[in-house]
Structure 1
Amino acid sequence: MTREYEILVIFPASAKEEAVEKMIEKVRQDVARVNGVIAETENLGLRNFARPLRGADKGYYVRLICTLEPSQVDALKGRFRLNEEIFRFMITKREKADVKVRCGV
């Protein structure tokens, strides 16, 4: 049974915009290699960190929404750890929104 995950990836600020697009494509390929399906990719651009991390104060943020087998999450994390272009990453399980709609006057 697949689940929906949100992946946040940070690339170094020293990278050029064209290089970031290639890095995003590599991340998408890594997700595909573990049989994941990407539903959405959003480049959030260059953002400042709340505090310096490893001597850096900003990075390129990219958010991906994908479906993936829970057993493959560790394999994907391993692939991301081996990718030297990724500064930081976070994979979280997306919960379905529990929204109640109230109708009437």
Structure 2
Amino acid sequence: MSRDYELGVIFSPEASEEETRSVLDRIEQIVANHGGQIVKVNQWGRRRLAYPIERHRDGFYVFIDMVLTPETVSDIERTLKVSEIVLREMVRKRDPKAVQREREEREARAAAAAAAPEATEEVPAEGTTEEAPAATSAEPTTEEAPTTASTEATTEEAPAEETAAAEPAAESNEEHIEA
């Protein structure tokens, strides 16, 4: 019976990229040999440790979501404990409700991504321009740049006006107190 697991590994900051890649490849190989599946690999990169481990203040964090049998977990743990570049490792069983929610979100995104290319193919056929997909890019366009600059200028001027408006109010409060 397969279950969802999350593997967290902290590699030594002195380890080369080739060494970490070889350990990750070995994990992938173990998972594939036992009929498991790697769902997602999340490499956080180099981060500060909460406390020194083997005189290291930093570590290279990697998190892997997998679908495995419980027997496979023991093989992965054994492999990681033998490796000299692994500072810490932890395998934990994931909450089935959270896993189901993530699967539904992933399927919804895949369906939306599959529908998006079909929609962009239909847009030129209807006679509209192709500028709409360019506007959805993550990079700001030249039209958006002046808007952000004017917004910044407005926010810089606003505090000065607010302070000027607040000073007469403070004076009137002092007059009321004195009377």
TM-score greater than 0.5 by the shorter chain: yes
Identify the structure with the greater strand proportion.
Answer: 1
Asked if 1:36 corresponds to 2:36, the answer is yes
Deviates more, 1:6-15 or 1:90-99: 90-99
What is the aligned partner in structure 1 of residue 78 from structure 2? Answer: 78
Q: Distance in 1 between matches of 2:33 and 2:89?
A: 17
Specify every segment of 5 or more residues in structure 1 that has no aligned partner in the other structure, as ranges.
100-105
The amino acid of 1:91's aligned partner reads V
**Is the deviation greater in 85-94 or in 13-22?**
13-22
Query: Secondary structure, in 3 states, of the residue corresponding to 1:87?
Result: strand
Structure having the larger proportion of residues in helix: 2
Counterpart-to-counterpart distance in 2, 1:54 and 1:85: 11
Greater RCO, 1 or 2 (C-alpha within 8 Å, sep 6+): 1
Q: Which residue of 2 aligns with 1:64?
A: 64
Unmatched segments (≥5 aa) in structure 2 = 102-179
Q: CA RMSD in A?
A: 2.0
Q: Contact 1:47/1:60 (CA < 8 Å) preserved in 2?
A: yes
State how many pairs are aligned: 99
Q: Structure 2 counterpart of 1:51, which letter? A: Y
For 1:19 and 1:75, the matched residues in 2 are separated by 19
User: Percent identical across equivalent pairs?
Assistant: 32
Give the CA deviation at 1:18. Answer: 4.6
Structure 1 Cα separation of the partners of residues 74 and 21 of structure 2: 24
Amino acid at match of 1:6: E
TM-score, normalisation: structure 2: 0.49
Distance 2:6 2:60 in 1: 16
Aligned match of 1:88: 88
Give SS of 1:61's match. Answer: strand
Moved more, 22-31 or 7-16: 22-31
Whether the aligned pair in 2 keeps the contact of 1:30 and 1:79 (CA below 8 Å) is no
